[in-house]
Amino acid sequence: MTAARLTVDPRFAIGAVRRRLFGGFVEHLGRHVYDGIYEPGHPRADEQGFRGDVLELVRELGVSTIRYPGGNFVSGFRWEDSVGPRAQRPRRLDLAWHSTETNEIGLHEFSDWLDKAGSDLMLAVNLGTRGTLEAIDLLEYCNVPGGTTLSQQRIDNGRAAPLGVRVWCLGNEMDGPWQLGHRSADDYGKIAAQTAKGMRQLDPSIELVVCGSSGAQMLTFGEWERVVLQHTYDDVDMISCHAYYQEHHGDIDSFLASAVDMDSFIEKVVATADHVGAVKGSDKRIDISFDEWNVWYIDRVDSVKPTAIDDWPVAPRLLEDVYSVVDAVVFGSLLISLLKHADRVASASLAQLVNVIAPIMTEPGGPTWRQTTFFPFAITSRLARGVAVRLRIDAPVIDTARHGTVSGVDAVSTHDAETGATAIFVVHRGRHDAVDLVIDITGLGEVEIVETHLLADDDPSARNTLDDPERVQPRALEGARIVDGLLHVTLPPIAWAAVALQAR
């Protein structure tokens, strides 16, 4: 048994917990849309063909804003294909995922689905193979109440009221050589600034996200942000970060410390953005939209797409990672990292939502189930309220090959002064021994424990599958207690936990 001491004091507030931190991402990719959220003929499908069982889980997950329709998909997407009478919509090749896009589900249907899910739309425009005019046209179609050809088309297509889309992504991963229309930072910065200016001329109330790096490992990382922001600083609100983590060659210690990399990624982007602001003499602050994050086994065979010229399947099984307990513990620690940076991460999107590197899985004609990663997201999204609070942490350290020496315990808290609710989210990265946590909560006054959740397992490789969909479940933290202003919690090896406290 090892021991760690933590201190929670609401005076160490980081920033407000914005609901957009718990966003998601739906891309037209694999079985995400077709045979995922949409499966007409399924026993639980509603009148529009949307699966009611999937909608129930999406609501339970608690996702706020949902980024759509891609991802790499958006860089070959013509938005006009996805509206109007369905029978007339074209079938197109999706070059990004080597699939056929039927356009059966488009902007209107997806907006209807979002209404049912209780989530907001965040749209990405195609700046890979299209440009400023098409982006402005889409904005006009979505947000102008009426009186123009495009807004009238929306009305004729069944949406009288504007969609009122607030947050827009200016392309996707434009730094990535795999991206259709991949550009240099200079070229992208120019078209992004031009497009942002045009879009704001139409609707000054929108919030714009410019593409940052596809990962901190990109060779252009840092310089990309600097150059792109030099062009766009005055015209955008956020810069994006994307990060995916996986276990490499059995190096579990490094994998468990992935959030250390996320912390440093965020801090470097903030430093670069602030540097550009300083050089420009600007008082404006650019925030981060961490609009793709997750665990993703990108090297695994089932992540590889078909490539033959005559092989363009509709909704093939792609990127259907099955997540273990270890994956979920890392996933929970990534959420802790996002909360620890709540002052600058204004928005985040879990990539993705259903079937594709997803917390929710479905079987055609069959059931839907929660992956292990579902639990940390749903619990954190529900309990994190008010402001994020920085903790003091004294814990044993772990040496890792990729991230150096890291704390064996990481944690963050949230505190809602209005309701007196506090939540503590904690990860234990140690693989061998349990850890006794003594958490000083005297700064909270008189509180009681109202909920505890532990995600850990004697078999850290355990997963939920079609055959065994409830193998992994969070359980209560046995023995959690408060004695003289100290909260005592024992965590087993490789564990993620949450404790909700309420002022008496």
How far from chain centre, in Å, is Cα 336? 13
Q: Which is nearer to ligand AHR, 74 or 411 (CB)?
A: 74
Task: In angstroms, give the least distance from the CB of 139 to ligand AHR.
Answer: 21
173, 207, 223, 320: the active-site residue:
173
Q: Does 94 bind ligand AHR (CB under 6 A)?
A: no
Nearest Cα neighbor of 377 from 408, 353, 404, 347 is: 353
Interface with ligand AHR includes 83 (CB under 6 A)? no
Stretch of residues binding ligand AHR (CB under 6 A), selected from 10-18, 49-57, 66-74, 436-444 = 66-74
Per CB under 6 A, the list member of 36, 71, 106, 376 interacting with ligand AHR is 71
The nearest distance, CB 96 to ligand AHR, in angstroms, is 7
- Residue 80 as a binder of ligand AHR (CB under 6 A): the answer is no
The burial class, CB within 10 Å (0-12 / 13-18 / 19+), for 16 is: middle
CA distances 420 to 205, 246, 430, 446, Å, are 34, 37, 32, 10
Give the interface segment with ligand AHR, choosing from 68-76, 85-93, 144-152, 328-336 (CB under 6 A).
Answer: 68-76
Pairing of strands 287-295, 345-351: parallel
Are the C-beta atoms of 203 and 143 separated by less than 8 Å?
yes
Interface with ligand AHR includes 33 (CB under 6 A)? Answer: no
Residue 246 CB neighbours (<10 A): 16
Binders in 214-233 for ligand AHR, by CB under 6 A: 214
Rg of the chain over CA atoms, in angstroms? 23
Choose which of 64, 102, 151, 172 interacts with ligand AHR (CB under 6 A). 172
Site for ligand AHR in 347-366 (CB under 6 A): 351-352
Q: Is 474 helix (H, G, I), strand (E, B) or coil?
A: coil
Min separation Cβ 197 and ligand AHR, Å? 25
Which amino acid would we find at residue 231?
H
Which DSSP string corresponds to 361-409? EE-TTS-EEE-TTHHHHHHHHHH--SEEE--EEE--EEEETTTEEEESE
Reading the block at residue 503, the tokens are 């002022």
Q: Are the beta carbons of 324 and 372 closer than 8 angstroms?
A: yes
- Provide the minimum distance between the beta carbon of 70 and ligand AHR in the complex, in angstroms, as a whole number: 5
Instruction: Give yes or no for residue 72 binding ligand AHR (CB under 6 A).
Output: yes
133 three-state secondary structure? helix
175 is an interface residue for ligand AHR by CB under 6 A: no
* Catalytic status, residue 173: yes
Per CB under 6 A, the list member of 70, 212, 332, 386 interacting with ligand AHR is: 70
Contact between 212 and ligand AHR by CB under 6 A: the answer reads no
Binding mask 131-170 for ligand AHR (x = CB under 6 A): ----------------------------------------
> Smaller CB distance to ligand AHR: residue 26 or 455?
26
Show the CA angle centred on residue 379, arms to residues 429 and 422, nearest 5°: 90
Token pair listed for 374: 């579902």
Q: Which is nearer to ligand AHR, 289 or 422 (CB)?
A: 289
- Rounded CA-CA distance 107/90 in Å is 14
Interface residues toward ligand AHR, by CB under 6 A: 27, 70-72, 172-173, 214, 292, 351-352
Active site residues: 173, 292
